[in-house]
Structures are given as C-alpha cells and as structure tokens.
Amino acid sequence: MFPLQRGRRLRVNESIRSLVRETTLSPTDFMFPMFIAEGENYKVEIPSMPGIFRRSIDLTVEEVKEIFALGIRAVNIYVKVDESLKDNTGKEAWNPNGLMQNAIKAIKAACPEMVVMPDVALDPYSIYGHDGIIENGDVANDATNDALVKMAVSHAQAGADFVAPSDMMDGRILRLRQGLDAVGFHNVGIMSYSAKYASAFYGPFRDALDSAPREADVVVPKDKKTYQMDYANRIEAIRETLMDVEEGADMVMVKPGIAYLDIVREVKNAVNVPVTVFHVSGEYAMIKAAAERGWLNNDKIMMEQLMCIKRAGASLISTYFAKEAAIILNK
C-alpha cells in the first residue's frame, strides 16, 4: 500500500511533465534592454557583456525588427551620451532632437507595434554619474523630479508607449503622472523601478553607458546608496512599491532578478499591477563568463534562471538573454 501518492508518476517522460508544468515561458514574456550610440552603421560589443552591443540608431532599428519577428514585444532603451553633452542639469535629456528622442521616433516608425520603454534617469547625462542633480553634496530630490518630468514628456512626444523611471527619487511617479497628463499623454504608461536595490550586479551596465559615480571637484556621493535601496531590506520594497502604485504606476519593477526572487514574490502578492523583473547585466555576465570557461551550460542555465524569475511572479522579464531565449523557444 505504501506509498499511495508517487510524485514520480508525473515525471515519467517529457510529455507528461509538459502536461503538468506549472510555469511556462514565451518570447512575449521578455523585454530586451538595448544600448544606443551616436553615428551610423556603428556596432561595438560591450566587453563585460559578450553578445550585447552599443548600436547606432539605424542598426538598432534593424535589431528591433529582428526581435519583433521572434515574438519579443517590448524594448527598454538606454543611450550612451557624448561627454560634451553632460552637465549637472541633465538638460540634454529633454532635447527634442536628442539621441533618445530620435531613437524612439525611428523605432516606432519602423516597428509601430513594438512597445518602447525609454529609461528615465539623469545618470547618462550627468557629469557626476548620478541619477539626479547634485546640490550641496547630495542628489536633490525635488529638483531632479522637475527634470525627470521634462525628460518623460519629451519621450512621450517622441512616441514612447511607456516611460521607465529608474532613478528612485521620492514622489517621482506622481510628478510624472501629473506632468504627462497635463500635456495630454493620458495613455502613456509608467513602468516604475519601484524596488531597485543598490546592487553590485550593475557593473557591466555602467560600463556600457559610462554612468558610474565619478570623482569630482565638488562634493558628491561616492555611490548611489542614498537613493537606491539597501539590499538587506524586504519590507521597504513592499512600501516603496505600494506608494508607486498609489501614485499612478501602471507596472512596477524589482531589480536585480535572481538574487531577489523573495522580493519578487512579496511584491507580486502585494500589488494588483503587472510586475517586471530586471535580470541585470551582472547576472548575465556571470553566466557568460562561466559558460566561456566550460563551467556551466549557457542555454540550460539561461532558461532555468528565466523560468525561476517567471515562477517567482514576474509578468515581464527585462533580460539581455531575451533574443537568445526567444530563438530557443521558437525552436
């Protein structure tokens, strides 16, 4: 008689396992982060992120069309800003003919159904590498929010479907919602980086955009811990996310991914809006480095981690593996 219940009956072969599988992945689960640079016919691989490139707008458009054909329906875009355009105001961020704005226009013209979510933060435009305006040795919250509203409105004017504030300023979701609505962009959504931790996993990303905090001739914070979250905290993530939803966020994000799956589940249980998870550059780079040395199987680890993120509660996964994973899923 023992045992009456045998779990292995449901694992006998792949056909049975597929019938009872609780979580599945599709290319529509992914958003592809893309780095955009000035120039034409320009494509340079990021050394710390094998297989990921900075591209000029023309080549970005070609890549967007290719990933759309694979079933990916969203891109999260970032720009590598020329040093001559950086200052402490971020004014290039709302230049109607800036690199970000021109990229949005080009992507939407070439692939209208691709959902474009440009990054909203000042670090690519800052001479100090911070996500906001430096005043009196710190990042000025409210002055930064004013700048972010101008930035988000310029993205909406260029054709963005969502804006994606990654700055972690207090109150910025309400200010962005009010700013967008005031000029008629009621249908432009906000995907808030709500639980964004001060993580060491962002290193390769900062290499890609040259957006790490810098030494300066004035006093500036040496890191981003005064606005990004302490990775020891869990309840704070729920509080931050709930506030963002109350202020008008249409989607929320947990960042990083694999090391924060407990937070993903907590956030999923707490809110009634879609939850995005950012599988970040450091998590990508670790898999690539281990695979290059033959220590891990790239494809198997990639798919396992993406499945685990989805299982934890992600509605959408922003991942540098999006294209690779979509190709495998389509096979």
Catalytic (active-site) positions: 196, 255
What sign has the CA pseudo-torsion 47, 57, 117, 319? negative
| Pairing status of strand 251-255 against strand 275-279 | parallel
User: Distance (Å, rounded) from C-alpha 104 to C-alpha 296?
Assistant: 37
Q: Is 28 in contact with 260 (CB distance < 8 Å)? A: no
Q: Is 125 in contact with 220 (CB distance < 8 Å)? A: no
| CA–centroid distance for 51 within its chain | 17
Q: Is 202 in contact with 175 (CB distance < 8 Å)? A: no
User: Distance (Å, rounded) from C-alpha 103 to C-alpha 225?
Assistant: 31
Residue corresponding to tokens 């707490």: 270
User: Distance (Å, rounded) from C-alpha 98 to C-alpha 245?
Assistant: 30
Q: Which two tokens stand for residue 164?
A: 């994606």
Q: Helix (H) and strand (E) counts for the chain?
A: 11, 12
Task: Name all contacts of 244-249 with Cβ < 8 Å and 24+ positions apart.
Answer: 244/173, 244/192, 244/194, 245/271, 245/272, 245/273, 247/171, 247/173, 247/174, 247/177, 248/173, 248/174, 248/176, 248/177, 248/190, 249/173, 249/190, 249/191, 249/192, 249/194, 249/273
User: Distance (Å, rounded) from C-alpha 140 to C-alpha 169?
Assistant: 9
Q: Is 135 annotated as a binding residue?
A: no
Q: Angle 84-88-94 (CA atoms, 0-180°, nearest 5)?
A: 75
Nearest to 23 by CA among 324, 317, 320: 317
**What SS3 class is residue 226?**
coil
Q: Point out the annotated binding site for Mg(2+).
A: 240
Q: Which residues are annotated as a binding site?
A: 240
